[in-house]
């Protein structure tokens, strides 16, 4: 969902301010849910499709989060962190592109957390430069 917002900005269909407002609303919606204190994003990802046609019911609403609510926040923070560490020379796009290439070239489609971490470390750069731009 982070890329949904970002693609609108890159296509010129919204301004920086509109992008930030959409992300602000996403963060506010997430912060308003008590389930954020009980369930991690990883746990929520395993239950993405288990809610059934009517979503969460009863007390589950207070003890769970939606992958779709927290995912964009984590994606945005991760992208900003990469941009910050590399002085905007690298983006989350670069990490995703490398992961895609590595995964599709590997006959197993091996995408494990250790591989993800390795690719992230490769793209963090020399950590000089500390400004962030949303335009690239």
Short-list 37, 46, 31, 42, CA closest to 64: 37
pLDDT in tens, the chain (136 residues): 789 999 999 999 999 999 999 999 999 989 998 989 988 888 888 877 776 655 566 667 688 888 888 889 999 999 999 999 889 999 999 999 998 888 776 656 666 666 777 887 888 765 544 444 444 4
Cα(125)–Cα(136) distance, integer angstroms: 17
Phi-psi region of 57 (alpha: psi -120 to 50; beta: other; left: phi over 0): beta
∠ Cα 18 44 31 (to 5°): 45
Q: What is the pTM of this model?
A: 0.75
- Check whether domain 2-122 has CATH 1.10.10.60, yes or no: no
Q: Give domain limits for the chain.
A: 2-122
The length of the chain is 136
Cβ(110)–Cβ(103) below 8 Å? yes
Cα(36)–Cα(131) distance, integer angstroms: 30
* 84, containing H or E segment: helix 67-86
Short-list 114, 121, 133, 93, CA closest to 2: 93
Cα(32)–Cα(39) distance, integer angstroms: 14
């Amino acid at each position: 969902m982070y890329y949904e917002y970002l693609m609108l900005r890159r296509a010129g269909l919204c301004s920086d301010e509109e992008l930030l407002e959409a992300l602000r609303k996403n963060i506010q919606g997430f912060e308003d849910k008590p389930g954020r204190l009980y369930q991690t994003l990883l746990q929520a990802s395993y239950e993405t499709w288990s809610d059934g046609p009517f979503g969460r019911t009863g007390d589950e609403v207070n003890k769970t989060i939606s992958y779709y609510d927290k995912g964009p926040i984590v994606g945005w923070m991760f992208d900003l962190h990469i941009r910050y560490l590399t002085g905007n020379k690298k983006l989350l796009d670069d990490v995703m592109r490398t992961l895609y290439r590595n995964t599709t070239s590997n006959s197993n489609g091996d995408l494990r957390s250790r591989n993800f971490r390795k690719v992230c470390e490769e793209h963090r750069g020399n950590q000089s430069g500390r400004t962030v731009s949303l335009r690239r």
